[in-house]
Amino acid sequence: MKRALPVLVLSIAGLVPVWLYEPSPATTSSSTSSTTTTSSSGSAGSSSTVVTGPSLTTEKGDVQVEVTFAGSKISSVRMLKQPHHPQTTAAVPVLIKETLAAQSADIDTVSGATITSGAYKKSLQAAIDARG
């Protein structure tokens, strides 16, 4: 119990910053107002509007975006400033989970583990090659 108590205190101390953490605007320490530029594009008289967002200083670094509107729709978003933080530079890849299925289908060729010349005769690829 004598040992458990400091551990408990330390755990709570460690949780405090998490409780206090709040995403923007609390972490924003400086900002400039956004600017808007309207330009007329050549086609069909529609106009595009470029809005530059305020520069936000987050604990990961400065973030600023530029959004281009075609009429009322967003046509592009560009990062003017982005933090060089591992979370933004190397995102965890998205993987789709499925169940293993067995199928046969009309194919041109087969990818598989390197097959030896001895095993080739009985392979699907040999059947495809023989079909001509």
Task: Output the smallest distance, CB 94 to another protein, in A.
Answer: 6
State which residue, 33 or 116, has the beta carbon closest to another protein: 116
Residue 5 near another protein by CB under 8 A = no
State which residue, 5 or 90, has the beta carbon closest to another protein: 90
Nearest by Cα to 112 from 96, 128, 98: 128
**Residue 6: cis peptide before it, omega within 30 degrees of 0:** no
Binding residues for another protein restricted to 79-118, rule: CB under 8 A:
90, 92-117
Q: In b/e form, how buried is each residue of 115-127, taking b as 16+ CB within 10 angstroms?
A: eeeeeeeeeeeee
Size of the site for another protein (CB under 8 A): 37
End-to-end CA distance of the chain: 78
State which residue, 73 or 122, has the beta carbon closest to another protein: 122
Contact call for residues 51 and 36 (beta carbons, < 8 A): yes
The residue behind tokens 């959004």 is 67
State which residue, 7 or 101, has the beta carbon closest to another protein: 101
Among the listed ranges 17-25, 52-60, 77-85, 123-131, the one in contact with another protein (CB under 8 A) is 123-131
Q: Which spans of this chain sit near another protein (rule: CB under 8 A)?
A: 90, 92-117, 119-120, 122-126, 128-129, 132
